[in-house]
Chain A
C-alpha cells in the first residue's frame, strides 16, 4: 500500500469527498469539498469514482512524499506544482514513484486546489463520508487539517477501485478560470420581506468584498449594511449550503459546507447549487455580486453541470500507426515516466 508522508502541510489541507448527507436532522453538517467541480474533475482524470476522497489545499499547498508508486492529478486553483523540483502540469494524469516529492506553491488565482490520487485517500469513513469536519473533530485524517509527519494511506488499486491506467487531461481552454470578481446567481428567500425594500435591491446590486474572517463554515461579506424590518433574529430553523443569512450587523454570510444545520438569523437569499464552487474559490478581498435568478434557471444550470464536467476530460490518443510498419509486426510496449508525466512507448520491427 502506498502512503503519502506529509513533509509540510500547507496553510490548511484537509481530506474531503463530496460530504455526508442525510444527517442534518441530528445536527451533523455535510462538510465536503467547497469546490466539488474541481474535486470531481480531478477524480475523473484518474478514472476514480466521482466522489473519491482527495486533499483540499487552501491558498498554499503541501509537500508530500510518496512511499510507493501512485497516479495523481491536481485541479482547482492554480498552484505551481513540482515533482522532485521539476515543474509538472495541472489538470493531467501524473505518476509518482517511491520517494518522489510533490510540492505545491501558493494559489495564483482562486483559493482551493484538489489533489486526487488513483483509488482515493483511504481514511476510515465516518458516518458515510471521508470528509474532515474539523470543528467537530471527526472525519478525514484524525478529524483535523494535516500536520507535518502525518502518513495518509492510499487505496490499493488491486482491490478494484474502478480506477484505470488511461492518461487524461483537461485542455487549457476548458479549465475554469478563478477571477477576483465573481457573480453568483441567487434565489430570493421567503423571508426577503423581512428586509427593507432598499436593502433587498442593494443586496442584488452592490459589490461585496470577501472578508478575511471567511472559512469553510461561511463566506462572510463586507459591504453597505442591510436593514431588517423586524430585527435580525428568527426562531431557529434548518439551513442549507448556499443560504445567505444576515445577522444584526447587516452583513451577509453565505453558508458553506461546514455550516451549522440550523440557524437563527434572517435569510435574504440562497445561492444556487451550480454556483457554489465559485464561492469556494473566492479569496479574502475578492468581489462578489449576487444576481437574482429563478428556480427554472437554477435547475437548468444544475443540469448543465454534469455534461460540462465530464466533457472537459479528454483521453490521450494512442499513437497512430506509422506508414510502412505493419500494426501486426512483432513488438513490445513500455510505459515510461519522465518528470511525473507518463509516456506509452511502442517498439516494433520495421
Chain B
C-alpha cells in the first residue's frame, strides 16, 4: 500500500515517512513493514531508523547521498513492503509485583475504576501490550493495548522520584519506568526486570514491535528474580504466537 506513505525532508540529515495520523496497530504495521524492508535492503547512506507510532525517521549521511536520491530509494522500498514481519507476535513475559510498597496507587486506580484491587491486577495482567516505540528515556516502552476499564488520570501532583521498574497507568496508557525519574503516573506495581542497564552487553531489554504480557509475582518471588537480575543470571521468557 505505497500510497499510505508520505515522504518529507526532516532537516538536512533525515527523511520522515508518515502514515495515517492515528495510534493504531494498522499504522504500526505499515511503519514496521517499511522499517523491515529498509533493513533488508539498506541504502548506502543510511545511518539509522527510528520507528514511532505513525512515522519512521530515516537518518542518512548527507555527504554520501542527497535527499532526492534517498527519497527515490525509500519510495521504491515502500512499493515492495511485505507485512510478513507482523504475522508473528513475539511475546515477552514481564514479572510484576502488584503488592504493598510496590503498588502505592493501586487502591486509587481501583477506586477510580469502581473495581477491587484484585480485579485491576487481573485486567492489567491479562492484556497483551504492543511496544509501539522506545523513547522518552533510554529503553522506555510506549505500550498500546491497555483495557479502558482500568484507565485513570495522572496524579495531580507528580512524584519527584519513581523507582526504576515501576509499572504505571496514565489515562489509557500503561508503562514501565526504565530508570528512576520523576513522574505523574499511578504506580500499580514494580518489575524486578531491568529495562535499561548501560553496563549490560544488551543495555535495552525490549524492542519496538515486541509484545509484553505481565504476570503477577509475590514480593518473595520479586526478591528472588531481583537477585538473579543483579547477578546477570535472569532473562525474560520469550515466545512466539501467530497474530490473529
For residue B8, which residues in chain A have a CB less than 8 angstroms away from its CB? 190
Q: Is residue B170 contacting chain A, with contact meaning CB distance below 8 A?
A: no
Q: Is residue A314 contacting chain B, with contact meaning CB distance below 8 A?
A: no
Please give the number of chain A residues whose Cβ is less than 8 angstroms from any Cβ of chain B in the complex. 41
A24 contacts B66, C-beta separation under 8 Å: no
For residue A298, which residues in chain B have a CB less than 8 angstroms away from its CB? 12, 62
A236 contacts B133, C-beta separation under 8 Å: yes
- B3 nearest CB across to chain A (Å): 17
Q: Is residue A237 contacting chain B, with contact meaning CB distance below 8 A?
A: yes
Evaluate whether A299 and B142 lie within 8 angstroms (CB atoms) in the complex, with A127-B198, A136-B198, A235-B22 already known.
no
- Spot the interface stretch: B13-21, B75-83, B114-122, B232-240: B13-21
For residue A74, which residues in chain B have a CB less than 8 angstroms away from its CB? none
Q: Is residue A311 contacting chain B, with contact meaning CB distance below 8 A?
A: no
Interface positions, chain B 48-87, Cβ under 8 Å from A, are: 48-57, 59, 62-63, 66-67
For residue B49, which residues in chain A have a CB less than 8 angstroms away from its CB? 25
B57 contacts A237, C-beta separation under 8 Å: yes
- Select which of A135, A236, A240, A302 is within 8 A of B14 by beta carbon: A240
User: What 1/0 mask marks residues of chain A from 25 to 62 whose CB sits below 8 Å from any chain B CB?
Assistant: 11111000000000000000000000000000000000
Q: Is residue A85 contacting chain B, with contact meaning CB distance below 8 A?
A: no
For residue A296, which residues in chain B have a CB less than 8 angstroms away from its CB? 66
Evaluate whether A236 and B179 lie within 8 angstroms (CB atoms) in the complex, with A302-B63, A303-B63 already known.
no
A262 contacts B52, C-beta separation under 8 Å: yes
Q: Is residue B134 contacting chain A, with contact meaning CB distance below 8 A?
A: yes
User: What 1/0 mask marks residues of chain B from 3 to 31 whose CB sits below 8 Å from any chain A CB?
Assistant: 00000111111101000011100000000
- B65 nearest CB across to chain A (Å): 10
Evaluate whether A25 and B9 lie within 8 angstroms (CB atoms) in the complex, with A237-B54, A299-B66 already known.
no
Interface positions, chain A 200-239, Cβ under 8 Å from B, are: 235-239
For residue A187, which residues in chain B have a CB less than 8 angstroms away from its CB? 9, 11-12
For residue A163, which residues in chain B have a CB less than 8 angstroms away from its CB? none
B136 contacts A262, C-beta separation under 8 Å: yes
Q: Is residue A126 contacting chain B, with contact meaning CB distance below 8 A?
A: yes
For residue A137, which residues in chain B have a CB less than 8 angstroms away from its CB? 179, 198
Give bound CA distance, A239 to B207, whole Å. Answer: 18
Evaluate whether A260 and B135 lie within 8 angstroms (CB atoms) in the complex, with A190-B8, A236-B142 already known.
yes
Give bound CA distance, A269 to B11, whole Å. Answer: 7
Q: Is residue A343 contacting chain B, with contact meaning CB distance below 8 A?
A: no
Q: Is residue A160 contacting chain B, with contact meaning CB distance below 8 A?
A: no
Evaluate whether A272 and B12 lie within 8 angstroms (CB atoms) in the complex, with A28-B204, A237-B52, A238-B50 already known.
yes
Give bound CA distance, A27 to B206, whole Å. Answer: 11
- B72 nearest CB across to chain A (Å): 14
Interface positions, chain A 242-261, Cβ under 8 Å from B, are: 242-243, 260-261
B198 contacts A295, C-beta separation under 8 Å: no
* Nearest A-chain residue to B141, judged by Cβ: A27
- Select which of B9, B23, B138 is within 8 A of A295 by beta carbon: B9
For residue B198, which residues in chain A have a CB less than 8 angstroms away from its CB? 126-127, 136-139, 143
- A264 nearest CB across to chain B (Å): 9
B52 contacts A236, C-beta separation under 8 Å: yes
Task: Enumerate 13 A-B pairs (CB-CB under 8 Å) in ascending A order.
Answer: A24-B48, A27-B135, A28-B138, A28-B204, A187-B11, A235-B52, A236-B53, A238-B135, A239-B57, A240-B10, A295-B66, A299-B66, A302-B63
Other than the given A237-B16, A295-B9, 4 more pairs (CB < 8 A) read A21-B47, A25-B49, A260-B136, A295-B12
Name A's B-contacting residues (CB within 8 A).
21-29, 126-127, 135-139, 143, 187, 189-190, 235-240, 242-243, 260-262, 270-273, 295-296, 298-299, 302-303
